[in-house]
Amino acid sequence: MRVIAGAAKGTRLAPVPNGVRPLSDRAREGLFSSLGDAVMEARALDLYAGTGALGIEALSRGAERAAFVDADRVAGRTIRENLERTRLAGAAEIAVRPALSYLRTEPEAPFDLCFLDPPYATAVLEIETALAALAGGGWLAHGFTVTLTRPARSSKHVIPVDWHVARRLEYGDSLVILYREV
């Protein structure tokens, strides 16, 4: 895996920890093409961060700050290593804790972009709970974009009433859904 564009373009990321399924380079490229200028100066939240590739790509492309959240300690170390490799650690914070636990805290400031790339085995109820927490807890800035990655074969979820599906991107077995404020 590598950073696709921006300040850290071409930087190779650390080996993927066992049990982590990162979004492919091709899918990340398509996602960030769809986001366009929304990344510039954004505050990004990378939930279920794994390697941190999504948040790191956002930072590389001009996001102001990024918070990385993953429950796995090995993933946390990998994210830290990847931030050091890309020289983007100064614009990042890492929380090694479950996403729902993190979302029960108070956000310092709302996020413009939120990436959710949970393991495919994650229960639908957990994902819906995370989406509801994002919608109702002061986590999202006006004009936000939330992306959710799921297996292409099963992608039905209850989304907050004031969100709409802005885009659906399919890459192999991955479906990336972009939600925006109505």
**Quick check: pTM over 0.75?**
yes
Contact 21, 119 (CB under 8 A): yes
CA 135, CA 146: separation in Å to the nearest integer? 10
| Model pLDDT for residues 44-85, shown as the tens digit of each residue | 999 999 999 999 999 999 999 999 999 999 999 999 999 999
Please state, in angstroms and rounded to a whole number, the distance separating the CA atoms of residues 129 and 78.
26
> Tens of pLDDT along 91-116?
999 999 999 999 999 898 999 999 99
Residue tagged 């009433």 (tokens): 161
In a domain, 13, yes or no: no
* Tally of structural domains, the chain: 1
CATH of the domain at 97: 3.40.50.150
Structural domain boundaries, residue 49:
26-181
Q: pLDDT digits over 135-154, tens only?
A: 988 999 999 999 999 988 87
- pLDDT mean over 14-36: 88
DSSP string, 117-171: ---TTS-HHHHHHHHHHHHHTT-EEEEEEEEEEEETT-------TTEEEEEEEEE
Q: Residue 18 domain-assigned?
A: no
Tell which residue, 53, 55, 176, has the closest CA to residue 114.
55
